[in-house]
Amino acid sequence: MTRRDLRRALKRTGLYAAALGFMLFAGFPFYWMLITAFKQNRDLYVGASDLSHVPWIFNDPPTLEHVRLLFGQTDFPRWVLNTLVVVVAVVAITVAVAVPAGYSLARLAGRWGERMGMGIFFTYLIPPTLLFVPFSRLISLLGLQNSLGSLILIYPTMTIPFCTWLVMGFLRSVPWEIEEQAMIDGYSRLAVILRVAPRLIVPGILTVIVFTFTLVMQEFVYALTFISSVEKMTVSLGVPIALVRGDVYHWGALMAAALFTSIPLAVVYNLFIDRFIQGFTMGAVKG
């Protein structure tokens, strides 16, 4: 083996070691969630009293007791449904508003577009803790308190500014020339926007969807402010309220809830991950 081969082998090993490290870092919470959700309470709450106890394996046979608690004694399925309703509505509103807004600011508004985009982005930086008091007045004025409608109305105020800015940034990487070419090739500006541009910004739209999805799934403050009945709650609100009672944490059921919400999400993200990374316009310009 020459020195060069050796160095290459070392480099490879280092690379794999680093990748493995990151994989463990990312995967461990999932693993912890998984075993906690199916451990018997006896196995779960040993604490520091028994030093011979190994926490990261099943010491007792796994159990479905926590899952039964989650599905049988809480409104978990209902919350999932509520969350889905809110997510779908907010994603639809955000895409419908942010994509055209980002497109027009990036392509049609000239030099002012950039500045207005920045301005819109700044509104995203105002923390929800400042806004929920005025928002709650607005919501009660509209008669939307304690309804999913309040969340569907409020969440876009966070997602639209950021996503508009996201789309603008994405469009900067898509050469304008392709759309100009379409205008020369026989399309009107409107036809270009409706028929040519959407294909070019698919990855940008997907990013908007994922961002909105994530934000809505994890939102807590507004949900806590506007929703009071258990059957109207979303997952992020219902789970901690129902499963943290005083100072009693139902860890098994909490982790089961986290598991059942995060696994479908992880699968969906992995399906799309190539689309985000893919240089979609590669080959369209330059040699």
Partner 1 sequence: MAGVEIRNLRKHFAELHAVDGVDLSIRDGEFLVLLGSSGSGKTTLLRMIAGLERPTSGEIHIGGERVDGDVPPRARGIAMVFQSYALYPHRTVFQNIAFPLEAVRTPRQQIEEKVRWAAEMFSISRYLDRYPRQLSGGERQRVALCRALVRDPKVFLLDEPLANLDAKLRNTARDDLKRLQRRIQTTTVYVTHDQVEAMGLGDRIVVMERGKVRQVGTPQDVYEDPVDTFVATFVGQPPMNLLDLRDPSLPPGTLLGFRPEHFLPRSGFGPGEDVRGFRFSVRRVEYLGSDRYVYGSVSESDTPDATVIAKLPGTIALAIPEGETHEFAVPRRALRYFDAATGLRRRL
Residues lying near partner 1 in the complex (CB under 8 A) = 175, 177-178, 180-189, 196, 199-200, 280-287
Give CA–CA dist 163/94, Å, rounded: 8
Q: Which residue has the tokens 């990748």?
A: 19
Distance CA 38, CA 244 (A): 18
Helix residue spans in 108-243 (DSSP H): 111-124, 128-141, 148-172, 176-184, 189-191, 197-200, 202-218, 221-226, 235-243
Which is nearer to partner 1, 228 or 278 (by Cβ)? 278
Element containing residue 245 per DSSP (H, E):
strand 244-245
Answer yes or no: are the C-beta atoms of 201 and 167 closer than 8 Å: yes
Q: How far is the CB of 203 from partner 1 (least distance, A)?
A: 11
The CB-of-153 to partner 1 minimum distance in angstroms stands at 36
In this complex, which beta carbon is closest to partner 1, that of residue 146 or of residue 278? Answer: 278
Distance of CA 225 to the CA centre of its chain: 21
CA dist., res. 223 & res. 241, Å (int): 12
Where does 3-54 have alpha helices with state H? 3-38, 41-44
Could you tell me if 145 and 83 are in contact, meaning their C-beta atoms sit under 8 angstroms apart? no
C-alpha separations of 129 from 126, 159, 193, 238 in Å: 9, 16, 38, 20
Question: 90 vs 174, which CB is nearer to partner 1?
Answer: 174
Smallest separation, CB 117 to partner 1 (Å) = 20
- Give least dist CB 271 to partner 1, A: 19
Q: How many Cα atoms within 13 Å fall on the side-chain side of residue 273?
A: 7
CB closer to partner 1, 130 vs 184: 184
Shortest Cβ distance from residue 204 to partner 1 (Å)?
A: 14
Cβ proximity to partner 1: between 37 and 205 the closer is: 205
Give the residues across from 268 on adjacent strands.
none
Q: How far is the CB of 173 from partner 1 (least distance, A)?
A: 12
**Residue 272 Cβ, how far from partner 1 at the closest point, in Å?**
17
**Which of 68, 195 has the CB closer to partner 1?**
195
Of 60 and 177, nearer to partner 1 (C-beta) is: 177
